[in-house]
């Protein structure tokens, strides 16, 4: 009995990136629905093309999936000013010396390579790879650049903020000293549920976390209430109306976490991105535009 | 003999907004982290110095915010000179509830027939302002409501960190005399 191939890594690759790669490699044009490579509609086509790929291509594809695997990352949001267009950033690959980041670890001969991938008209993905030939060393720093909302997202890890300040900001803004970390606050989560000038429609939240403080509850034992569903705000409102009751828990504390199928926000943590399909990226831009 | 001025002050607002904590901080300079329900009414007092140097004693009436006290709390409104409406900046509904039931209830017992403004002087206080990341209410929303209920001021305070607590009580006491002088 043969073991079944694990295709789960494909879920991190957006359909349009997969399509671009397959079209290029196989010199053909494949049709995929923009809702995930392993979705019911796409799974058969995806696997059919995967099985035709050579081992080096498969390795390349796995590397793309590793680079785009964001499932556990809480991105930090930075507001920047005087941005440069993405086209300007893509003109050349930038390499820089990274020894300064490792002064305490002795001499490491390594280089940093900066690359930009335009995911769609609103979002670019910036990767900075540190690598060394003399020692086995590889490190990847990932950023999302959203010029339309003057925002850059940073993956929190050692040196990432330094890389942002010293290498990325001078590259993407005309005023690299002017940037500000944006804190996710309960107020931002409330705004997501409202129709505003910036957000023409309110987001359908699939989960909402309500913080219960000791000052409000009186005793320890309950710290958070989490509600889940396709549209929790509408769901809670409708439940209240139909049963003519007040769901007091909706207002028993600040809303400290919320999410949709595309993203999640949490006070004190940041922003999580679930997928990079086009519609999800549009949704991400709207969120960042209003928080 | 010098006349002793005593003003009766009532604090109104939803359960858990921090009415008792504001009083505790103002009167005793203390803050309790755990929440203890106010059963019916608690009265305490403290002297406040006004801008002209006079001293006034505030008789502070802490009224339980729970719905079960609704039937009896109007009894404590009688003779009140001042009212402090308190909401929790981390819970939006506590602000909307200021208008109805709190303001509405107070006006039923304290409004003056034929006058647009009640004789009772009021202030709106948004408590827990130290919890910056958890704030759900915009300052603008508080200001709008303060205007709607004719409150003399809208103050963002924190009983826990003792931010603007004294200010809130003193401003309210002062507003009574400012109104009398007009």
Among A186, A216, A253, beta carbon nearest to B35: A216
Residues A96, A133 within the same domain? yes
The mean pLDDT value for A187-191 works out to 90
Query: Is residue A198 very low, low, confident or very high in pLDDT (cuts 50, 70, 90)?
Result: low
Q: Which one has a higher pLDDT value, A200 or B119? A: B119
At which of A182, A206, A229 does a domain end? Answer: A182
pTM, two decimal places: 0.84
| A204 within domain boundaries | yes
Q: Which stretch of A61-70, A113-122, B92-101 has the lowest confidence by average pLDDT?
A: A113-122
Chain A residues close to B35, C-beta within 8 Å = 214-219
Q: Among residues of chain A, what percentage have pLDDT more than 90?
A: 33
Which candidate in A190, A212, A214, A215 is best for mutational testing of the B interface (most B CBs within 10 A)?
A215
How close A124 comes to chain B (CA, Å)?
Answer: 29
**Residue B3 pLDDT grade (very low, low, confident, very high; cuts 50, 70, 90):** low
CA distance B154 to chain A (A): 19
DSSP state letter for A48: H
Q: What is the mean pLDDT of chain A?
A: 85
Looking at the fold, whether A195 and A271 belong to one and the same domain comes out as: yes
* Structural domains of chain A, count: 3
* φ/ψ of residue B40, rounded to 5: 70, -90
Comparing A113-117, A156-160, B164-168, the range with the smallest average pLDDT is: A113-117
The yes-or-no verdict on residue A199 having pLDDT over 80 is: no
- For residue B34, the chain A residues in CB contact (below 8 A) are 214-215, 218-219
Q: Kindly identify which residue of chain A lies nearest to residue B35, measuring between CA atoms.
A: A218
Question: What residues of B are in contact with residue A217 (Cβ under 8 Å)?
Answer: 16, 35
Does B94 contact chain A (CB < 8 Å)?
Answer: yes
Same domain flag for A214 and A281: yes
**pLDDT score, position A116:** 85
If asked whether residues A173 and A190 sit together in one domain, one would say: no
DSSP assignment of B119-179, as one string?
SSEEEEEEE-TT-GGG--S-HHHHHHHHHHTT-S-EEE-BTTTTBSHHHHHHHHHHHHHHH
Confirm whether A1 is domain-assigned: no
Choice between A266 and A198, residue whose per-residue pLDDT is larger: A266
Q: Which residues contact A110 (CB under 8 A, 6 or more apart)?
A: A98, A99, A102, A130, A131, A132, A134, A135, A137
Closest Cβ–Cβ partner in B18, B36, B136 for A254: B136
User: How far from each other are the two terminal CA atoms of chain A, in whole angstroms?
Assistant: 53
Q: Which domain holds residue A21?
A: 8-67
Contact between B148 and B179 under an 8 Å Cβ cutoff? The reply is: no
A174 and A220: one domain? Answer: no
Query: Which distant-in-sequence residues (6+ apart) come within 8 Å of A86 by Cβ?
Result: A116, A118, A124, A145, A147
Q: Which residue among A184, A187, A216 places its CB closest to the CB of B136?
A: A187
Highest mean pLDDT pick, A63-77, A135-149, B108-122, B155-169: B155-169
Asked whether the predicted pLDDT for residue A159 surpasses 90, the reply is: no
> How far apart, in Å, do the first and last CA atoms of chain B sit?
26
Verify that A177 and A193 share a domain, yes or no.
no
The whole-number average pLDDT for the span B138-157 is 96
Rounded to an integer, the average pLDDT of B35-60 is 85
How big, in percent rounded to 5, are the helix, strand and coil portions of chain A?
35, 25, 40
A255 pLDDT above the threshold of 90 = yes
Whether A154 and A230 map to the same domain: the answer is no
Chain A: give the shortest CA distance to residue B168, in Å: 21
The pLDDT value recorded for residue A175 is 84
Q: Same domain for A102 and A167? A: yes
Are the Cβ atoms of A255 and B136 closer than 8 angstroms? yes
Supply angle C-alpha A279, A282, A283, rounded to 5: 90
Asked if residue A2 belongs to a domain, the reply is: no
Residues A45 and A126 grouped into a single domain? no
Q: Is there a single domain that holds both residue A271 and residue A176?
A: no
Predicted pLDDT at A103: 65
A133 part of a folded domain = yes
- Looking at the structure, do residues A97 and A130 belong to the same domain, yes or no? yes
CB-closest option in A184, A215, A251 to B35: A215
Determine the Cα–Cα distance for residues B50 and A13; give it in Å rounded to an integer.
68
The CATH T-level fold of domain B5-181 is Rossmann fold (3.40.50)
How much is the average pLDDT of A183-209? 82
Higher local confidence (pLDDT), A198 or B62: B62
Return the H-helix or E-strand segment holding B60: strand B55-63
In a domain, A3, yes or no: no
Q: Which of A39-43, A219-223, A234-238, B46-50 is predicted with the least confidence, judged by mean pLDDT?
A: A219-223
CA distance A196 to chain B (A): 14
Examine the pLDDT at A96 and tell me if it is beyond 60: yes
Closest chain A residue to B38 measured between Cα atoms? A218
pLDDT tens digits, one per residue of B95-143: 999 999 999 989 987 766 555 555 899 999 999 999 999 999 999 999 9
Position B140 scores a pLDDT of: 96
Which pLDDT value is given to residue B69? 72
Hey, which of A26-35, B46-55, B142-151 has the most confident mean pLDDT?
A: B142-151
pLDDT digits (tens, 9 = 90+) for A128-154: 888 777 667 778 889 999 998 999 999
**Residues A147 and A194 both lie in one domain:** no
Q: Is the pLDDT of residue B154 over 70?
A: yes
């Amino acid at each position: 009995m043969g073991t079944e191939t694990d295709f789960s890594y494909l879920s991190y690759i957006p359909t349009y990136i997969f399509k671009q790669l397959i079209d290029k490699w196989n010199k053909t044009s494949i049709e995929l629905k923009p809702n995930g490579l392993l979705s019911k509609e796409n799974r058969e086509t995806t696997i059919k093309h995967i099985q035709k790929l050579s081992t080096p291509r498969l390795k390349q594809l796995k590397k793309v999936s590793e680079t785009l695997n964001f499932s556990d990352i809480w991105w930090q949001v930075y507001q920047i000013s005087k941005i440069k267009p993405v086209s300007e950033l893509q003109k050349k690959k930038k390499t820089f010396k990274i020894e300064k980041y490792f002064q305490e670890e002795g001499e490491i001969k390594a280089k940093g390579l900066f690359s930009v991938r335009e995911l769609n008209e609103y979002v670019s993905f910036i990767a900075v790879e540190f690598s060394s030939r003399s020692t086995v060393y590889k490190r990847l720093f990932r950023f999302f650049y959203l010029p339309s909302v003057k925002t850059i997202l940073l993956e929190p890890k050692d040196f990432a903020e330094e890389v942002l300040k010293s290498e990325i900001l001078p590259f993407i803004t005309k005023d690299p000293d002017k940037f500000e970390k944006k804190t996710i606050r309960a107020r931002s989560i409330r705004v997501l549920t409202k129709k505003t000038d910036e957000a023409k429609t309110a987001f359908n939240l699939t989960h909402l976390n309500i913080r219960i403080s000791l000052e409000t509850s009186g005793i320890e034992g309950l710290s958070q209430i989490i509600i889940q569903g396709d549209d929790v705000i509408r769901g809670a409102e409708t439940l209240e109306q139909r049963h003519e009751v007040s769901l007091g828990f909706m207002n028993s504390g600040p809303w400290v976490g919320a999410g949709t199928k595309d993203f999640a926000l949490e006070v004190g943590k940041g922003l999580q991105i679930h997928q990079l399909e086009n519609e999800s990226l549009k949704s991400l831009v709207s969120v960042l535009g209003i928080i | 003999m010098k006349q002793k001025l005593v003003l009766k002050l009532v604090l109104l607002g939803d359960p858990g907004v921090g009415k008792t904590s504001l009083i505790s901080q103002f009167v005793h300079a203390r803050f309790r982290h755990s929440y203890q329900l106010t059963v019916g009414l608690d009265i305490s007092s403290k002297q406040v110095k006004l801008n002209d140097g006079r001293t006034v004693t505030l008789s502070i009436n802490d009224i339980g915010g729970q719905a079960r006290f609704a039937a009896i709390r109007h009894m404590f409104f009688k003779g009140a000179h001042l009212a402090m409406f308190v909401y929790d900046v981390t819970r939006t509904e506590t602000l909307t509830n200021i208008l109805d039931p709190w303001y509405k209830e107070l006006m039923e017992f304290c409004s003056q027939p034929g006058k647009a403004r009640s004789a009772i002087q009021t202030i709106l206080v948004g408590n827990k302002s130290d919890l910056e990341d958890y704030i759900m209410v915009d300052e603008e929303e508080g200001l709008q409501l303060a205007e709607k209920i004719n409150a003399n001021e809208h103050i963002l305070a924190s009983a826990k960190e003792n931010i603007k607590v004294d200010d809130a009580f003193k401003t309210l006491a002062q507003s009574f005399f400012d109104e009398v002088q007009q």
